[in-house]
Homo-oligomer: A and B are copies of this chain.
Amino acid sequence: MDRCKHGHFVCADTVLARAKEGGLRRTRALEAVVEALAEAGTPIPLNELEKKPSVAGVCDRTTLFRLLNRLGEHGLVRRLGLHKRAAYFTLAMPGGHHDYLICRECGSVEILEVECPVQELEKEVAKVSGYTDLYHELEIYGLCPNCHG
């Protein structure tokens, strides 16, 4: 998986540029959220995001929510279930996606760096089902080395 010059999966600058194209204003809060998400790399819930140095003190939780939603509508952020009580957010890359390996005990989330086998299936489903604009979400759950006794 390619990474930007900072070693992140998705480059904050790219996202900000695309956000502007989408009509979003470049505010302090927007920059902060995007940067925090880029640094995080893996999906992160709102209450974690709040604590990130780039975000803490910069903007309110409500603003975070609204920004994440807006970014989501523009396809720049993806919202994940991950079986947690809270929603998890991560920067979405154009045309790309990640699959995750999650420990159901401690909740750790790792990015699966493998060839995703679902692309083909997705195309077939697109043909057969009548659904359009498909994307998928794949998570593998298990017990991580630290959690299985």
> What's the Cα separation between A83 and B137 when bound, in Å?
10
Q: Which of A99-148 contact B (CB under 8 A)?
A: 101, 103, 110, 112, 114, 117-118, 120-122, 124-126, 129-145, 148
This chain: how many copies in the complex?
Answer: 2
> What's the Cα separation between A142 and B125 when bound, in Å?
10
Contact A132/B142 with A114-B124, A121-B114, A121-B117 known, Cβ cut-off 8 Å: yes
* Closest Cβ–Cβ distance, residue A81 to chain B (whole Å): 2
**Interface size class of chain A, counting residues whose CB lies under 8 Å from the partner chain:** 35 or more
Q: Could you give 9 example pairs across A and B, Cβ below 8 Å?
A: A81-B83, A101-B129, A101-B131, A112-B125, A118-B138, A129-B142, A131-B143, A131-B144, A133-B148
